[in-house]
Amino acid sequence: MALTYNIGEATIEGLAYVGSLARLTGGAARSIFIDPFRGRRFRLSRAVHQAMSVGVEAVPIVSLISFFVGTILALQGAYQLRKLGAMQLVAAAVAIVITRELGPLMTAIMVIGRSGSAFAAEIGTMKVNEEIDALETMALEPIHFLVAPKFLAMILMMPCLTTWADFMGVLGGGFFGVMSAGFTWGSYFRATMDALVLRDIVTGLIKSVMFGIVITAVGCREGFATGLGSEEVGRSTTSSVVKSIFLVIVVDLIFTAIFYFTAPS
Amino acid sequence: MAKDARRKDDSGETPSGPGISVRNLRVNYGEREILHCISFDVPAGETLVILGGSGSGKSTLLRTLVGLEKPSAGEIWMRDKNFAAMSDAERDALRKKLGMSFQSGALFGGMTVGENVALPLHEHTPLDESTIEIMVRLKLDQVGLSGFEDYMPAQLSGGMKKRAAIARAMAMDPEMLFFDEPSAGLDPIIAAGIDELILKLKKAFRITIVVVTHELASAFLIADRMILIDKGNIVAAGTPEELRASEQPRVRQFLDRVPEPELTGEIDYLQMLTGEDPPPHK
């Protein structure tokens, strides 16, 4: 009986949490897409500032890690393919795994570490310092002022970062291909292009947008849920990272399943 | 207090003119009632000081007055409208006429002092950039912070932060100003400067001011009227002179800085631990 009760309670809590994320996302979507047509200004400068932080400043670390992941993937692929005498398939394997899965996922995990946690810390600190209250007393809605620019920046930057991560991952695979698998740079990229179809790239980019929405919603939600005291900011930052990673994996599973079952045979 | 009241309890009479009228206000945090049926008036252009010890409910009262807490019952009349029963849009419209200075200052750490003061002007007015710049300089000059536009809040002292927060609260030329512990954490000279500034603003702009504090010297200097809150109830109200002359035991204890008596009896101690009334003696 107690087990059933605990499962029920955890399910209700989980659904309530997802509901709070949906409410935050809906509020931000209204601020970005509807309010400007009702005469309420949306300041693009804030979104641009966030986009610089979320996207442009993340390029070096995303490049480096994606390159290494591409190389690791090629090494692991070659380990099996060598036994089958199919080393020429390394380029195809790397390209498909990177564009469909690891490019968006690794980018999301890096963005969680850099930006999702920063969103939670920023909003949490503002809450502790009464800055959120100050916004409300100035008739500035925190979702419109703080959250919406982050959503817009993330929706725009995640596909860009993911595209770049895909390219760097392929480059990393190519590094191994050229050094140890008998490819030239030209033949490696030709093999990559032959293996990829547009659907591989598009599904990865759709997932990246969904990941961006999840990361922003969780980061902001945890920031607003920060209690009193500076140690609470640390708690909400940690919580945002753990919950974002979990929810990104869940969303990844859902969308991968959707793309699998809707793929033309 | 009663003679200046614009609205009597439960009379249904419509209040008139600016100023604040609070009627039968109750605020709950979950199941616990923090404020119990509070009623008072602040006539337009006057300064009300809300006194009370830590945990008395005075900050909750201030937060409720500016709409940061939702009352569970009661009315808050401002500009002839019940603030407690407004739609979000109406509340936002009224908030543009209010200014709030928080205990910590609550300046946005990522913005300069000038940007902090300019923020409500950018968001709520169609003024161009050069006019807003002039307005910012004017507001900072009014609080004695000329030339600090480009400083970050972290570069300011405690007193300067409070002044910058007041400048931001004044940015939209509010009709009502609310201060949460304006001189808390400041040395006596800086605190006196903040008191002086509040008096100056009141004289210059005829603003209705509500101040929450437990600093007695500051309270008696700036107040036109005072209320003392204890355990969520108003225990005394009146002019500073009336409060000074009051023989009400809780007022005397607060003004004379008398500590709470120690619990001596077994039953008192048991009551403190259990939070329940002692059993009747047989």
Cβ of A138 within 8 Å of Cβ of B123? The answer is yes
Residues 6+ apart with CB under 8 A from A174: A70, A74, A91, A183, A185, A188, A189, A192
Q: What is the chain B residue with the closest CA to A41?
A: B123
> According to the 3-state scheme, what is the secondary structure of chain A?
CHHHHHHHHHHHHHHHHHHHHHHHHHHHHHHHHHHHHHCCCCCHHHHHHHHHHHCHHHHHHHHHHHHHHHHHHHHHHHHHHHHHCCHHHHHHHHHHHHHHHHHHHHHHHHHHHHHHHHHHHHHHHHHHCCHHHHHHHCCCCHHHHHHHHHHHHHHHHHHHHHHHHHHHHHHHHHHHHHHHCCCCHHHHHHHHHHHCCHHHHHHHHHHHHHHHHHHHHHHHHHHHCCCCCHHHHHHHHHHHHHHHHHHHHHHHHHHHHHHHHHCCC
Complex confidence, ipTM: 0.83
| CA–CA dist B22, A240 (Å, integer) | 41
- Give how far A260 is from chain B: nearest CA, Å: 45
The pLDDT tens digits for B64-99 are 999 999 999 999 998 888 888 888 888 888 898 899
Tokens 């199919």 sit at which residue? A86
> Does residue A52 belong to the interface with chain B, where contact is any CB pair within 8 Å?
no
Q: Which of B102, B123, B168 to mutate to test the interface with A (most CBs of A within 10 A)?
A: B123
- Cα B202 to chain center, whole Å? 15
- Backbone dihedral region of B17: left (phi > 0), alpha (psi from -120 to 50 degrees) or beta? left
Reading chain A (265 residues) residue by residue, the pLDDT tens digits are 788 999 999 999 999 999 999 999 999 999 999 988 887 888 888 899 999 999 999 999 999 999 999 999 999 999 999 888 888 899 999 999 999 999 999 999 999 999 999 999 999 999 999 999 999 999 999 999 999 999 999 999 999 999 999 999 999 999 999 998 889 999 999 999 999 999 999 999 999 999 999 999 999 999 999 988 888 999 999 999 999 999 999 999 999 999 999 988 6
C-alpha dihedral, A160 to A167 to A248 to A226, nearest 10°: -50
Cβ of A131 within 8 Å of Cβ of B109? The answer is yes
Q: State the first-to-last Cα distance of chain A, in angstroms, to the nearest integer.
A: 46
| CA–CA dist B166, B172 (Å, integer) | 11
Reported as type and span, the H/E element at residue B152 is none
User: What does the pLDDT read at residue B92?
Assistant: 87
The pLDDT tens digits for B210-233 are 999 988 888 999 999 999 999 889
Chain A residues whose CB is inside 8 A of the B104 CB are 129-130
Chain B residues whose CB is inside 8 A of the A129 CB are 104, 106, 109
Q: What is the chain B residue with the closest CA to A133?
A: B68
